[in-house]
Amino acid sequence: MSSENTVQEQIKYLKSLKAIRERAKKVYEKAEANALNHFKVDFSKLEVVVSKVIFLIKRDYKQISDIPPHGRWRHFEVGGKDRVQTLIEEWKIGCDTLEITRRLLDLFVVSVLLDAGAGNAWTYKEPETGNTYSRSEGLALASLYMFKSGAFSSSSSQPYQVDAHKLLNISVEDVRLAFQVDENNPLEGLEGRANLLSRLGHALESHPEFFKSNDNSPLRPGNLLDYLLLNSTINETDTTVKIDTLWTIVIYGFSEVWPPTRTSLNGVSLGDVWPCEVLRLPSSSPDSTDHLVAFHKLSQWLTYSLVEPMKRISGITFEGIEQMTGLPEYRNGGLFVDTGVLTLKEPDFERGISYYKQNKLSSTVQSDVEIVPMFEVNDPLIIEWRAVTVVLLDVVADKIRDALGLSKVQFSLAQMLEAGTWKACHDILAKQDAGREIAATLRPITRGPPIAVKSDGTVF
């Protein structure tokens, strides 16, 4: 095999679902040997996590089958109001099932891509209710109302679409106004979010094979439904799509979305893939990729979110979804820090506190907040934290299944995320996920994570 072919195979592998869990396991092996560079590990504390999540499951659900999958849909239901279903009912007049699904896919794509960490200071006041929400729920509602206003559509007669032409012309000011950002309501990564929408427009134009419709209407994310249906298995009772087919669209069709400053190989951007120093060997060649770990967090979050409307509205079954992993972000990862499974080593803790003070206490955030260690998204500590989190979520899910006598089919990883470790709940003040409940107890002012990540608007 030529070196060029070898590089192409490495790129293909690092963009695959398979690579996420496999590479994370290599870092986890270091954790099992207590040989991480930045964290001490106490696996006995995992029982605290398991007990907490089981408590939440039993508290919030009558039976396991009631637990919905993890996805963006939940965020639109914050406050006990099913805003998506309201839209669906409106669209049923004059819309067939496929077009309703396309519209939901349009909405979910932009909403998920705008779901990077908002920071502890930003909130969104919902126009229709006057209620105020923060973090992922606030971001979801801001994107929903932006969508409903027609801000993503170039057609005045069809506001409920997202198309390439309009995305390419969205400005930072458009996002600022839609997300109610001002000097008293700062949103982390504002410019990054606007740039991300523009890059989404470029991605749609670059991949008409996924996003072009049969009737020459605008290039839309929702048109991926038509591609999937053409590449599905259809029988008398079911339409089945392999999760790898959807993943191909997400990881390659949206590849232009990722900033060019991310990790690349042979000039090809790899997306959410990073060097992990604990895996780097002194004997490694300069062109080795053995130390790279793949997360594709936002891509997986998007995939989880796109599956649900296609399943619920168009009746599509997805095969192989168990290949996906838990999401390595600050809520899931923070749960393991707050429960003592992972503890920052002292030099890193001090380094993070110093960086937090430089970036927060000297800027727009007042001093009456909880101070936590803070790091850049590409800091080796953050990469190590995220990698271990991926496998810890698998371990917790298995322990919960064992405790409740369930199989992977009966209790999926997506259900565990939703029911406990990350859960996007209907009322964030009444029903918290494990990560949020513990964070709220330990940090009642911000309710933020135990480790802060300086957001660029594109990762978390």
pLDDT more than 70, % of the chain = 90
Phi and psi, residue 278, nearest 5°: -70, -15
* Statement: residue 417 has pLDDT above 80: yes
* Statement: residue 136 has pLDDT above 70: yes
What pLDDT shows up at residue 441? 59
SS3 185: strand
DSSP 182: B
What pLDDT shows up at residue 458? 59
Pick from 81-95, 284-298, 436-450: least confident: 436-450
Mean pLDDT, residues 331-359: 94
Q: How far is CA 154 from each of CA 104, 141, 172, 196, 199, rounded to the nearest angstrom?
A: 17, 21, 17, 18, 16
Q: Which of 435, 447, 440 is nearest to 392 (CA)?
A: 435
DSSP run (H or E) holding 202:
helix 190-206
Mean pLDDT, residues 238-256: 95
Mean pLDDT, residues 300-327: 95
Non-local (6+) Cβ contacts of 93 within 8 A are: none
Mean pLDDT, residues 182-191: 92
pLDDT confidence of 426, banded at 50, 70, 90?
A: very low
* Statement: residue 361 has pLDDT above 80: no
What pLDDT shows up at residue 364? 47
Q: How far is CA 281 from each of CA 38, 72, 263, 266, 290, rounded to the nearest angstrom?
A: 17, 39, 19, 21, 9
Q: Which of 290, 356, 377, 352 is nearest to 38 (CA)?
A: 352
Mean of pLDDT over the chain:
89
End-to-end alpha carbon distance in the chain: 38
In this predicted model, which residue has the larger pLDDT, 287 or 417? 417
In this predicted model, which residue has the larger pLDDT, 443 or 239? 239
Q: How far apart are CA 128 and CA 123, in angstroms?
A: 15
Mean pLDDT, residues 10-19: 96
Q: Computed from CA positions of residues 70, 179, 435, 19, in that sequence, does the dihedral angle turn out positive or negative?
A: positive
What pLDDT shows up at residue 362? 53
What pLDDT shows up at residue 421? 84
Q: How far apart are CA 415 and CA 321, in angstroms?
A: 12
Q: How far apart are CA 211 and CA 222, in angstroms?
A: 7
Mean pLDDT, residues 158-164: 96
Q: How far is CA 376 from each of CA 100, 450, 456, rounded to the nearest angstrom?
A: 40, 14, 9
pLDDT more than 90, % of the chain = 72
Pick from 131-135, 156-160, 274-278, 367-371: least confident: 367-371
What pLDDT shows up at residue 424? 29
What pLDDT shows up at residue 234? 86
Q: How far apart are CA 204 and CA 207, in angstroms?
A: 5
Residue 372 · residue 352 · CB < 8 Å:
yes
What pLDDT shows up at residue 440? 57
pLDDT confidence of 435, banded at 50, 70, 90?
A: low
pLDDT confidence of 189, banded at 50, 70, 90?
A: confident
Residue 120 · residue 126 · CB < 8 Å:
no
62-117: pLDDT as tens digits: 999 999 988 999 999 999 999 999 999 999 998 999 999 999 999 999 999 998 77
Pick from 160-164, 190-194, 322-326: least confident: 190-194
* Statement: residue 219 has pLDDT above 70: yes
* Statement: residue 429 has pLDDT above 50: no
Burial 17-49 (b: 16+ CB within 10 A, else e): bebbbebbebbbebbeeeebebbebeeebbebb
